[in-house]
Amino acid sequence: MARSDTFSRRKRAEIGSHKIDTYDEARLRWHLERPDSYGPFDSVMARFRVLTVSRLLRLRAGDSILVIGAGSGWESEFFETTGLRVISSDISADMSKIARIRRDLDRKAFEVVVCDGDLLPFADQSIDAVLFADSLHHFEDLKAAVTEAMRVARAAIGSFGDPMDSLIRRVAITLGHDATEYSGFLPHLISRHDLEATLAQGGFHLLALRGFLDWLPKSALQAMPESIQRAVASTLRLLNCPPWKVGSTQIWMAERNGAIPSAS
């Protein structure tokens, strides 16, 4: 059953009883309906990414996972449905409140923690896996963030949703086009070489790194010939997808050297 179908049958009074000062009801509902509120294209791609992550992590029911940058908690909710014990973390107190609302409305049990992703309040190797959920590129010091994740993870760490250092991005920037993600924010990128070097220093090795065609700065589209722009724009309208949501993101997973499956 689609999440939006389930959500639409909830009593409005039940939703209305939850208030967040900085969010009106429409914005709160949008976050609670994620990923369906992204639109048809993004909703499918979001689920596909999380399914891919679930397979690459090689976790078993009962294992624990910490989701960094979990926001409204939809990925955390998904992981719980696969039998994992989930800790949903975000630096935003408001987004964490929304995650708690989602959890309570959907009768889930994942834990919600407000914390900084590069200063995690967890003991060394205390959680089976640590995952950056579309959030690693928000850290100014990516190597420090990955190192902190490795400290906490017993067996595996990973990331999804980060823009790739792709050729089309480089061309757009070279041509003077804006490569920001939103509100003037320029994502922080890490090369495969630097990632593997950082992982090696922490006793991890890269298991997989895959790219997905689902993100592109609007400026990169504008750098293309006009005929291609028109063709792409027409396709995006059919998909109800904004231009800045088509392009390339990456998923990567890494495993601690010598890690063995948990006994759970």
Helices (H), the chain: 3-8, 12-16, 25-32, 40-57, 74-81, 93-105, 142-152, 167-174, 192-201, 218-222, 226-239
Return d(Cα 149, Cα 126) in angstroms, integer: 11
**What total number of domains does the chain contain?**
1
> For residue 25, what pLDDT is reported?
73
In this structure, what DSSP letter does residue 61 have?
Answer: T
Is residue 184 situated within a structural domain? no
Contact 71, 41 (CB under 8 A): no
Is residue 222 situated within a structural domain? no
Is residue 69 situated within a structural domain? yes
Structural domain that includes position 90:
21-164+190-215+247-255
* Amino acid present at 218: K
> For residue 218, what pLDDT is reported?
54
Q: Using DSSP, state whether 160 is helix, strand or coil.
A: strand
User: Pick from 166, 120, 154: which is nearest to 139 by CA?
Assistant: 120
The pLDDT tens digits of the residues spanning 162-202 come to: 877 666 667 666 766 666 666 567 788 888 899 999 999 99
Chain CA centroid to CA 180, Å: 17
Is residue 130 situated within a structural domain? yes
Is residue 147 situated within a structural domain? yes
Which CATH number do you get for residue 202?
Answer: 3.40.50.150
Is residue 183 situated within a structural domain? no
Mean pLDDT per 10-residue run, the chain (264 residues)?
41 50 73 78 74 85 96 92 94 92 92 95 97 92 96 95 71 66 74 93 92 54 66 59 52 88 54
> For residue 34, what pLDDT is reported?
81
> For residue 85, what pLDDT is reported?
96
Return d(Cα 154, Cα 65) in angstroms, integer: 10
Is residue 155 situated within a structural domain? yes
> For residue 19, what pLDDT is reported?
58
> For residue 7, what pLDDT is reported?
42
